[in-house]
Amino acid sequence: MTAEPLHGEETDAVYDRAGFGAPVPRGPRPALVVVDLTRGFTEPAFPSGSDLTAEVAATSRLVAAARAGGVPVVWTVISFSPAEADGDAVAWLRKAPGMRALRHGSAAVDLDPRLDARPTDPVVVKKGASAFHGSSLATLLTSLRVDTAVVCGATTSGCVRATAVDAVQSGFDTLVVAEACGDRARGPHDAALFDLQAKYADVVTLDDAVTYLDDPFRKADR
């Protein structure tokens, strides 16, 4: 049995018939949610990492646009205590033991130094794939009166996808920026973006997201 291509007339017809792929509204109060662009994911020297130089550069453009547009920037990191990393209590680590290297205080959990992360930016520390699971992210975005989550980061098929799905389930219209999302392999990256576009979010270009974040008409509304 061969896998069906992600795109094609037959695939498109099936998804159209199911009523998937409607455009997502874009509200006047977005937030940029940068998922797990820590050194453990953006640098290939780390066991869990790969070379995400292009994705970091794309994210830097998004951050600059968010700053210019008065849009909050929220960072997420995965970080485990020594007891969590060395123990057996975290089910995810039994499936993905390589993540045990993401320990409190290690270089692997530092945000990529090429990114303009500021002390005034919220940082959500998480223990699972979704930035919403077991965290205060939904409360934070609600307190900021955010209506639209613009999501980027790593990895596309893992934490980005889980975060985008939970963003929708938490009531936020969601955009995922294709060029600012990275993965360890092209197949999972493409499949995740296809599924997100069909069911949960609008997968948008970097230029489109930059224009939306730095919108002079929306700035006055903040």
Three-class SS string for 63-111? HHHHHHCCCCEEEEEECECHHHHHCCCCHHHHHCHHHHHCECCCHHHCE
What is the length of the chain?
Answer: 222
Q: Which one from 37, 159, 165, 204 is the annotated catalytic residue?
A: 159
Q: Is 159 a catalytic residue?
A: yes
In DSSP terms, 151 is beta-bridged to 33, 176
Report the C-alpha gap between 191 and 161 in whole angstroms. 10
Element at 186 (helix H, strand E): helix 186-199
Our measurement of the distance from residue 175's CA atom to the centroid of its chain's CA atoms, rounded to an integer in Å, reads 10
Neighbours of 204 (CB within 10 A): 21
Give, in order, the Cα–Cα distances in Å from 193 to each of 141, 146, 151, 162: 23, 23, 12, 12
Catalytic residues: 159
